[in-house]
Chain A
Amino acid sequence: MHAGANETTAGQLVHGKAPMPPSVSEDDLNLIRRVVGRDRQAFETLYHRYSPVVYRYLWKLIRQREVVEEALNDVMMVVWETAARFNGTSRLSTWILGIAHNKALKARARSARFDAEVREAAPDGVEPSSPEDAWAHRELASSMARAIDSLPPEQAAVVELTFYQDLSYAEIAKIVGCPVNTVKTRMLHARRRLASLFGGERKHHD
């Protein structure tokens, strides 16, 4: 955790959250141990705990309901089959999302229709607001969500894992299988793209 009351106050002034060390919870560890022992009830608990998170992540990268469900099936099958290989050095969600990321990439590669369909589903363009009020406006969230959906998949994955799954850049690097600097760079590109759509001015930083 971060140290010192002064720093905490400084952080709170600009809304940052205090750091949380990533580690596997005792509950998850017990759960996965029971799954290793072929405990179906434990597997069902694990499924209901993590399938929404995995489903959402797969959806972000695949965007075809049938393919997403098939990929989720594959992910959970791998969890069931290889639970003994979870070594407890990361959160259980990080391990499962790593499997999901690989499955999503495979599913995308298999689906020849993917790119065309995503282009159809993506917005033609986001209506840019004026720079003065764009970031403060109430309706920004939905326009922003559409803009995020139009990001290239590797950038969308980093944005999703950061802001929805609340993962550290090191955990994201583990999930997507790239160096941490690549994660930071993908995020910078995503931020730059969103800023250009919403009138932010920051090119001297990128």
Chain B
Amino acid sequence: MRDPSDSYDGNDHRKVWEILPWYVNGTLEAHEYEFVARHILSCQSCAGEVSRCESIATAVRSSEEAKRTPSPEHFARLMERIDRGSASAAPERWRIRVREWIEKIRLAFQETPSLFRWALAAETAAIGLLAATIAWQASVAPSLLYQTLSDAGSSPEPSRVHLQVVFADDITEREIRKLLSSIGATIVAGPSPMAVYTVALRADGREAPAQTQERLELLRAHPKVRLAEAKQP
């Protein structure tokens, strides 16, 4: 129970009360930790709650689930699934990527203050409306769109095929240059924190999947290439 003689501020008490579990597990920021430690010296109620949280922690750690482990053959089954090939997993990878993007947008939206959130929603709606209008104009009245003389006969630049490559730690810059040059590729991004480079194959307008595969195999055959795969669009 709360001791009525305590002289702490009720608001502080509430703040401390809600973060006590993370005081017990030792993950509070330093300033929060000090805040809680100081408060509970003069608050019997919170000190009691610390003990209760510790009881919960003890119960969680000693529960039967702590002894549960995956069956011994589980890892072998997992490796079999990996060996069955990544081709069947391609749609799954695509879905994961979309889900990740949606999740990122959702989290960013949640963390935005509500006033800005509404402004952002209004802006997004306006942009959507604009895009829909442009699309409608393009489909219904193409002649209304502005055209220049140079538009005639122009064709889009052939899209370039991108690959993801991870090199061995001991590869030299010269070796990378020589290797990429031999397959007509250039680095366009990387290395990522996971040491992944994105390379683009030289566009000549007639890159066929078989040619891409051939260049991938050349990369994979190199002793200092640890991973080479086509980048998903």
Contacts and interface: CB of A to CB of B under 8 A. Distances in A.
Interface string A76-89: 11101111111110
Interface stretch (B30-38, B136-144, B174-182): B30-38
Contacts of B161: none
A77 B56 contact: no
Contact of A16 (B23, B100, B106): B23
A5 B89 CA distance: 54
Contacts of A11: 23, 33, 36-37
23 contacts: A2-B33, A7-B38, A10-B40, A14-B47, A15-B54, A17-B24, A19-B27, A22-B27, A33-B195, A52-B70, A59-B65, A73-B78, A85-B100, A87-B192, A141-B62, A159-B60, A168-B27, A169-B19, A171-B27, A177-B103, A191-B21, A194-B52, A195-B52
Contact of A55 (B14, B52, B68, B196): B68
A122 interface: no
A132 interface: no
Interface in A141-171: 141-142, 144-145, 148-149, 159-160, 162-164, 166-169, 171
The 10 closest A-B pairs by CB, nearest first: A17-B26, A37-B226, A144-B59, A168-B27, A145-B63, A11-B37, A163-B57, A163-B60, A10-B37, A2-B33
Interface SS of chain B = helix
Contacts of A55: 68-70
Contacts of B119: none
Contacts of A166: 25-27
A37 B227 contact: yes
Query: How big is the B interface, by class?
Result: 35 or more
A10 to B, nearest CB: 4
Interface residues of A, number: 80
B173 interface: no
A159 B196 CA distance: 37
A198 to B, nearest CB: 8
A169 B29 CA distance: 11
Contacts of A178: 110
B231 to A, nearest CB: 10
A161 B37 CA distance: 22
Contacts of B74: 51, 69, 72-73
Given A7-B34, A22-B27, A77 B164 contact: no
Contact of A205 (B17, B62, B193): B17
A149 B107 CA distance: 28
A36 interface: yes
Most buried by A among B19, B37, B77: B37
A81 B30 contact: no
Contacts of A191: 21, 49, 52-53, 56
Interface of A: 1-4, 7, 10-11, 13-20, 22, 32-33, 36-40, 44, 47-48, 51-52, 55-56, 59-60, 69, 72-73, 76-78, 80-88, 102, 135, 140-142, 144-145, 148-149, 159-160, 162-164, 166-169, 171, 177-179, 184, 187-188, 191, 194-195, 200-202, 204-205
Contacts of B32: 19
Most buried by A among B2, B60, B68, B111: B60
Contact of A163 (B21, B93, B195): B21
Contact of B22 (A37, A73, A77, A169): A169
A141 B36 CA distance: 26
Given A38-B227, A141-B59, A135 B51 contact: yes
A17 B36 CA distance: 11
B61 interface: yes
